[in-house]
């Protein structure tokens, strides 16, 4: 294998990794703050992508308007789900998990009915390829990777430099004490879930031009997100970033050497290996 091919593989791997980060960020946030595994995450991601198709392609809305609508809908959905379902089940992890599975199944089946099985395509907003030193990089993917960078930075700023972020971290550490100190944990939980939904939806929206869309893409997304956050460490943003990049590169190089299917299995095996050897992930707390 030539150096050029390896270089191409690594570069694509990094960019794909950034896309994975974009996919997994919402899940990390909700788990990190509330210890809730939001199985519906993948379906929100799928809806974000589907809505770009519906609003931008089918209904010809201007792109900024479509994005605004998606964000608003995600916030509304997140608030509704937190208030109506998550809040009453806090503390019962099995019921919470199954409830979020239920939500994901409802969204998925409604989407199959509404959108049909025909694959949809969103035309490229940024066509073209960037060529640096023999490495070919589709601009669309680079742009999405850039968005991932922006969102990660934004999330860091929110969690570590704002009061609401401080409240979130307090709740994650010890909800009871936080409440005694005046933190309105219900409101913070609602914000966290809404934000997680927005991140998921945006993740889907930004990758819409890159992949072909169908209602089944949510399952792949949630799978990847789980793999990323388990390897990176449940609840660690830095872990998600690191794991995303690593998995992106692992899959890319693996596909070059072993083929795409085998690379897929390799990634799963990596997750099980982490669960067995270091369950808290690379950067999670023991």
Q: List interacting residues with another protein (CB under 8 A).
A: 37, 84-85, 88-89, 93-95, 97-99, 101-103, 105-106, 108-110, 112-113, 219, 223, 226-227, 230, 234, 261-262, 264-265, 268-269, 271-272, 275-276, 279
Distances (CA, A) of 195 to 31, 73, 200: 12, 11, 9
Closest CB 241 distance from another protein, rounded Å: 20
Closest CB 257 distance from another protein, rounded Å: 16
Closest CB 55 distance from another protein, rounded Å: 23
Question: Which of 33, 145 has the CB closer to another protein?
Answer: 33
Closest CB 12 distance from another protein, rounded Å: 22
Question: Which of 114, 126 has the CB closer to another protein?
Answer: 114
Question: Which of 103, 145 has the CB closer to another protein?
Answer: 103
- Residue 179's Cβ-count burial label (10 Å; 0-12, 13-18, 19+) is middle
Closest CB 227 distance from another protein, rounded Å: 7
Question: Which of 117, 132 has the CB closer to another protein?
Answer: 117
211: nearest Cα among 69, 53, 6: 53
HSE-CB at 116 with a 13 A cutoff on CA atoms is: 4
Closest CB 167 distance from another protein, rounded Å: 24
Question: Which of 99, 256 has the CB closer to another protein?
Answer: 99
Question: Which of 127, 259 has the CB closer to another protein?
Answer: 259
Query: Are the beta carbons of 171 and 187 closer than 8 angstroms?
Result: no
Question: Which of 206, 240 has the CB closer to another protein?
Answer: 240
Closest CB 7 distance from another protein, rounded Å: 28
Distances (CA, A) of 118 to 20, 133, 209: 25, 39, 16
Closest CB 70 distance from another protein, rounded Å: 23
HSE-CB at 260 with a 13 A cutoff on CA atoms is: 0
Length of the chain equals 286
Question: Which of 88, 123 has the CB closer to another protein?
Answer: 88
């Amino acid at each position: 294998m030539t150096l050029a091919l390896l270089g191409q593989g690594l570069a694509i791997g990094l960019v794909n990794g950034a896309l994975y980060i974009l996919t997994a960020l919402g899940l990390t946030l909700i788990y990190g703050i509330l210890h809730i595994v939001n199985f519906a995450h993948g379906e929100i991601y799928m809806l974000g992508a589907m809505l770009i198709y519906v609003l931008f392609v089918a209904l010809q809305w201007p792109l900024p308007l479509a994005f605004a609508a998606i964000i608003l809908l995600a916030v509304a959905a997140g608030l509704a789900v937190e208030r109506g379902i998550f809040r009453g089940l806090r503390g019962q992890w099995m019921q919470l998990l199954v409830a979020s599975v239920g939500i994901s199944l409802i969204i998925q089946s409604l989407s199959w009915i509404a959108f049909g099985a025909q694959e949809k395509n969103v035309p490229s907003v940024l066509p073209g390829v960037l060529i640096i030193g023999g490495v070919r990089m589709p601009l669309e993917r680079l742009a999405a990777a850039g968005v991932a960078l922006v969102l990660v930075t934004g999330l860091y700023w929110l969690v570590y430099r704002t009061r609401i972020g401080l409240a979130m971290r307090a709740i994650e550490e010890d909800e009871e004490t936080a409440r005694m100190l005046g933190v309105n944990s219900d409101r913070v939980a609602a914000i966290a879930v809404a934000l997680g939904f927005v991140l998921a939806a945006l993740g889907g929206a930004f990758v819409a031009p890159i992949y072909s869309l169908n209602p089944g893409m949510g399952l792949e997304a949630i799978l990847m997100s789980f793999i990323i956050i388990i390897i990176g460490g449940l609840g660690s943003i830095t872990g998600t970033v690191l794991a995303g990049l690593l998995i992106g590169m692992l899959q890319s190089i693996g596909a070059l050497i072993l083929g795409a299917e085998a690379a897929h299995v390799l990634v799963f095996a990596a997750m099980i290996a982490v669960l067995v050897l270091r369950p808290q992930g690379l950067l999670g707390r023991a």
